[in-house]
Structure 1
Amino acid sequence: MQSSLTDLSLRLALQLSPRGHLLALPQADATLLAEKTSTELAQAFGRGAGHGLLQLGSNCVDHVLPPVWGWWRDFAASYVTALCALPEVAGAAKPFTVALPTAERLEARVADAPPMQGAEYLTAQVLAALWQDMDTALAVELAASALPLQDFLKTRHPIWNMVGRVHFNLAENRKDPDYPFAFLATYTAGLSAAGKAQHQPLSRALAEFAGAGQQAQLLSLLLPVQRAATHCAWLDEMVKEGGIYHPLRWSPEQAYAFLRDVGQLEAAGIVVRTPGVWKAGRPSRPSAKGSVGARPPSLLGAGALLDFSMEVSLDGETLSAADITALLKGGDGLQLLRGRWVEVSKKSLERLLQRFEAIEKAAANGLPFAEALRLVAGASLDGIGPADESDDADWSELVAGPWLAQTLQGLRQPAGLACVSPGAALKATLRPYQEAGVRWLYLLTRLGLGACLADDMGLGKTIQVLSLLLVLQEESAAAKNTHQPSLLVVPASLLANWAAEAARFAPSLRLLVAHPSAMPMADLKVLDASQLATHDLVVTSYGSLARLPELQAVQWRLVVVDEAQAIKNPGAQQTRQVKKLLAGSRIALTGTPVENRLSDLWSIFDFTHPGLLGSSKAFTQFTKRLAQAEHFGPLRSLVQPYILRRMKTDKRVIADLPDKTELKAFCHLSPAQAALYQRAVKELAAALEDTGGMQRKGLVLSYLMRFKQICNHPSQWLGDGAWAEADSGKFARLRELVEVIAAKQEKVLVFTQFRETAEPLAAFLGSIFGREGLVLHGGTPVAKRQALVKRFQDDELTPFFVLSIKAGGAGLNLTAASHVIHFDRWWNPAVENQATDRAFRIGQKHNVLVHKFVCQGTVEDRIDQLIESKKQLVQDVLEGGAELQLTELSDAELLNLVRLDIHTAQDN
């Protein structure tokens, strides 16, 4: 046990919280770090993200780290690198402010981030805040060390040693055709009055530090040169001969040797300067440029074929065949072409020409759509990638042609797409971001491509899909096309939700719920294609697919899967059944960030875009190469157009005040619950025959309480202490819901009216979140309650709060929560609303989602219908005391209220 605990402590994972805080937490499936590294990082991050990043970026520069740690290490190391570039006042021990990178550089880092927990919260603004956190941490650590910055950095890693900065300067010398380049080494001697760096020839350092006691400063200044000389033979020779201290005339071969070693020079701490006319510090390079999708394909869909063309260009100018031949004849190095210096790698250029020519030849009749998209994203699955031939990226460019570029732009920024609208057929008004979502779904559907709509829970994925179906319905009717139905596959617990939403918002859609809870199994088994074709939308559950083989034989217009995390396991039977379905387009709906786990991403895209990410084996090899190169940009570029993810925290999506959205969470009964419930109904019927007066009222109240307890969990009524998850439909629904909340690192309040339910609920929630939460009920000391509230509000790692509705339903401010779950119903809307308002009140910055659990086919279901359909009766009767008024019902009315509809109640 001790060894496993030790092992867990070494398995640290970095995750970004919704507030933009970077946390290092133990995680069982995290990559094992070296013991010393793990301990030091855990301690540093325990002090705060700034301290952790400073430790990571300054101490771990030569460590082998997993991709997520490596990416954050590179970000932190860029801060330390910028720190080293600051001209330091000798002996200073004060905090330094390091200028923020440009917004473009930060955005580029975000785009290249690997999958990680909380990646959806990563923005340039978050990186800017963490950069400033490192400034703050540096000030604290520098003051505690009582060392000058230079000495402080020496204690971290030798690579950060810096006293002055040596500059190697390369310039063109057009007056000398034999030696057309000049070289001069300089150093930063200090700052001018205007705050500019003052440069002097390196030879001046020999005179400046010639005095007694100054040899150490000279040696420190020259240390980067000595480090670089160990890797660069030409520099080692210059140092030994003393040429480093004099201006030198260089041939093109000498200048090219210098350029090849720029990375080594900069890594050693030398600043490299090249001619100002060279872009990015290097001479121009001829680039092999490929273009995919200049024209629309003749046929749309995943089987579309796109055109491909290629050319070789220099700074945007196309080179002639004669120019290319001349460059290849000249070999590697620097060549003068059209009056300017050009850098040539004969091997790379020849290889790329051969590869592009091979693609052009293979694409004579068109390039398969999936392969074209992989090429444009730089995400080749053929074994040629960043880890294999990284230099090729410097000598080639593969771009989307006009048609494909416009299509991808529309997918990446759907707000700019042409308007499509369901019109009056939709009995609701879409928000602007929902309108954009419908346009995005319609474009992908029209192209015959798949989509993953990954909006946050509560942003209206359901209404966007219904709107799309209405648009397709109208389009089909106008064109008088052969009608094609669409199929929706959902967890059984969501069947009622979808049916209710469709009836409310899209009543013109002809809907069929193909599930035993809605129609007899005998009728389901005889469904055929002609019957299914009379509907616009067929809704079924994942579990029913295997029992209804006819669904596999139909060519659907759309297949939509809700809660797509249900197909994240490619080996599961229900995943295989879903992927066999035939459809023009496939849509996956999920509230979980699918890009954060590579295995989930592959399985979902294997449904929505079969073949785009290759086979599971090819994808695993591809992502291993990306991890080795610490460069996940190609994968993000490949999948990003087909994932639309909007978050409740994004003010561009919801610019108004936070909303309170109430949702019904319908639950089924487990077999154990159904048996207990049915027995209780029979016992109540028998008891009513022999009971009257006040005794009857007590009997009714006790049975109503028993039905509630059975609907919660059999163990609550039996008192056996088991509380097994499989025995309760509400526990199953709670897991489905909370797994999404946990993946989003959001907080939730769970209300119950039963004190004995609170602790089992907390234990169950803890197993889902992987962390403990809080419990408050009537037995919680009053003095302790405020401390619990403060912890929930302030501690990001406290994910849930289970409260009894009497103890926690009033007077508490719990605005850290963005979800409220009513596990059992009070049957009094005023009491429930008062409890909900613990989260939805002044100071709330989240969009609050309220989930009300209802067991279908039971007394909970019928009371809920009563509340919804008879608002005035609710005010006049229920708010005066629901149970008390229900005791006045006749025996027949009461038994009808509590009867069990077994087909609706069970997921079978």
Structure 2
Amino acid sequence: MDDGISFGFRLDELVLNRSKGAILKGKWEISGGGMLLLDPEGNRIQASAKDIYLALVERRPSEPWIPTVADGLRASRYPLSSSLAIVDSGEGIPAYAIIGSAREVTLELDVADLERGYRIADGVWHPVEPEAAQEVLDLLYSTGASIGPARSLRTFLAVRKAGAEGGAVDDQMADKTISPLAFTPPADGVPAGVNATLHAYQLAGWRWLKFLLAEGIGGLLADEMGLGKTLQVIAALSDSGDGLLRPALVIVPGSLLENWRREIARFAPHLRVLKHHGPLRTGRPAELHGYDVVITSYDNAVGDNSLLNMIHWKVVILDEAQFIRNPRAQRTKAVKRLRRDSGLAMTGTPVENRLLDLWSIMDFVIPDHLGDVKSFEAQFSDDVVGAARLEPLVSPLMLRRRVAEVAKDLPPRIDIPQVLELDEDDAAAYDAERERIMVEYGAAATLVALSSLRRFCAHPSLIAGNSATSDPMTFSKFRRLDEIVEEIFARGEKVIIFTSFTAMADIISRHIETRFGAFAGIIDGRLSIDDRQPLIDRFSAIQGGAALILNPKAGGAGLNITAANHVIHYNPEWNPALEDQASARAHRRGQKLPVTVHRLLVADTVEDVVDERLTRKRALSDTAIIGIEGKDDDYGDIVAALNRSPSRRVGK
């Protein structure tokens, strides 16, 4: 047997009593899980595991006076190989236990067993393999873990990482989802300095964020859209435990800068806030130091990266964190360079396109937690199986609640899909454009190549190039839009209309203003960031019917437009996450009325294929991690779109 861990006196240093040449025998004394050796003079000695093994197993003790038997005790020849196990505590949180195994024997050990090198259980003395024991002891000491329920998330992550790297860890919860709230200590009370009444789930979110920041680690707040992620983060900025969480840097899409400034002023007016934006923004770090919270855009995080990196931020917060889903993008690299104690990410769609999106966000939250890009892609396939395998690794760090689960008090949302058909002439014109694409692109066609078919389904005049002069009411889909808007305005209510085509937004706006004499504002890439919130304010202040026409990319993220209780998706998007974000602009906290969501869809066209794609991708997102879009090289969808013909239905 190899040398064990020895504590106490060496036996060969003892002075033995001998009488007339006769060797006096000692005695073994068993106490709990340990053993003491009584020498002939009655002195208690802590013997090493090696000396016990030599005496009781090999029957050749290191000294002749040491007895080779112990009353009522049997010695095992097989040492226990120990590991640090992550087990289910039964309290909703994981726990640590030391497990020793040899042949068909499995015992739960404690630190004292490892230190002395053996364990006595059920009348059997079990030696502990010394190298594995030392590895477990080193792991406990280096991570700060202790046997029993896990109380520190940072320690838990360190233990799990050690196991992933081949350490002596038996993760019995590797395939189980661990609630991120499991580690958060239960507490009463509300955030200090916040002028709002938080719902129960928002209070839980605030305590979770506060817990993370106290541990000096990051997290991903991935609540479904409309549940008040911004308010929860403002609560953490206002009350994070000991003192203000300053300096804090909040990075947002440019269109949300003013919204964040207003929300902080509304909910936590005691915080000193600077909107770092525009041509007159400071270039001196000392001026940034004078504020509790600095709000800037992703573009400025790139352009002013050197300036922002002169400050060590207490926390860096990313709103709409899907903006860094591409690990190779300049803005992704820029925000990850920022010096910070903690990183918090906020997004309702942590995965929009592929699992690598989530890797990129988590690499900001806790760098290296999921390894590098190459090892991640090799380990996690980009499908339902890969998502299910990934979820246990990210679940302790990602708080994700759905509206249906926690916001029972939200008014109902009514989804009304409306499938429309083309008349014979329009169907023939659509097929002509479809055949042109097939001839021009063939097998090289991409989703982008299909954009002309999508424009046709919005309005044929977008293809003909006469959208400014033609009568929009000649198209059946537009006539249905007109009917829906007329009904909404007759009730004195407001509507948000989403279309991804600039020319279509202009057509809709002109028609509503001319036919109904109502306000019809447009938010898309043509409207400056600073002018977007004032336009929403103007829309919200109107009494009676009004419309906002939005591009889902410009107006689908972060904006709060609860003045409208109707949403119309005029043309479906390839990306379900984009469409879901857009709908949530109206169906969210602050909405008092039921929200009706209309989806207009032209049958047997590319829009049918888009709708089928959305259904398929949503089914994937519901398995584990929300919001998977799909890739632009999804050849099956392209083939389906190019082979779908409205003329076949018309001809029946």
Q: TM-score range by the shorter chain?
A: 0.3 to 0.5
TM-score normalised by L of structure 2: 0.48
Higher relative contact order (CA 8 A, sep 6+): 2
